[in-house]
A and B are shown apart, each in its own frame.
Chain A
Amino acid sequence: GAGVSQSPRYKVAKRGQDVALRCDPISGHVSLFWYQQALGQGPEFLTYFQNEAQLDKSGLPSDRFFAERPEGSVSTLKIQRTQQEDSAVYLCASSFAGTVKPQHFGDGTRLSIL
């Protein structure tokens, strides 16, 4: 597609449920990033893939958060046993290899945990 596509746009889950968020990067983009954006805040880094390799997961807030990109294209961010503090917008971004090149962001998935 023309841009980074994320689904679903909105997700409501009950506390304790597992959720899966999908990201379809721009075709040909090697690098893929996940960010968490709390209300009124800037995005905060969660994890980074280069192709299928997860090179940095230092931003994942707990072991309940898991991300994968098995074929080096689509990525899934999974949150297990969701908590209310997980409520946020989850942004995916992709770029060509390297980081000086700007990242292209999707519209995000707004996750609300009840």
Chain B
Amino acid sequence: GNSVTQMEGPVTLSEEAFLTINCTYTATGYPSLFWYVQYPGEGLQLLLKATKADDKGSNKGFEATYRKETTSFHLEKGSVQVSDSAVYFCALSEGDTGNQFYFGTGTSLTVIP
């Protein structure tokens, strides 16, 4: 079946620190991969996506590379800001044939000044 496993949080970093949030997946087909972010009291917002192997998604300084050989899609940012404090969800969709997203359990990030 399809599933996503994220590193457990919470994660607390100082401003300007390097961020990595690990995500690995299991899929029956050839999925598309996504990172969503949820700020306090708000809905999920798409952060970035990648639809095929070796694609790199990037947005707002965040990056993630679709690694088929390790079934991973780790989220990274070189220098986090206080405003990056949120919950981050890794998700997969079954490419062209699937009709639902499979989400990880989320990783809470707090950035302190």
Contacts and interface: CB of A to CB of B under 8 A. Distances in A.
Contact of A42 (B41, B49, B106): B106
Nearest to B51: A100
A4 B45 CA distance: 11
Size band of the B side of the interface?
Answer: 20 to 34
A48 interface: yes
Interface string A72-94: 00000000000000000001010
A98 B96 contact: yes
Interface string A25-47: 00000010101000011111100
Contact of B44 (A31, A50, A91, A98): A91
Interface in B22-49: 32, 34, 36, 41-46, 49
Interface string A96-114: 0011101111111000000
A59 interface: yes
Contacts, number: 67
Contacts of B91: 42
Contacts of B66: none
Interface stretch (B11-19, B67-75, B97-105): B97-105
Nearest to A4: B43
A108 B32 contact: no
A31 B100 CA distance: 10
Contact of A44 (B36, B42, B45, B103): B103
Given A43-B44, A108-B43, A100 B95 contact: yes
B42 A107 contact: yes
Contacts of B99: 31, 33, 48, 50, 55-56, 99
Given A41-B106, A100-B32, A106 B93 contact: no
16 contacts: A4-B43, A41-B105, A41-B106, A42-B89, A42-B104, A43-B101, A48-B99, A48-B100, A56-B99, A59-B100, A99-B96, A100-B93, A103-B46, A104-B46, A107-B43, A108-B43
Interface of B: 4, 32, 34, 36, 41-46, 49, 51, 89, 91, 93-106
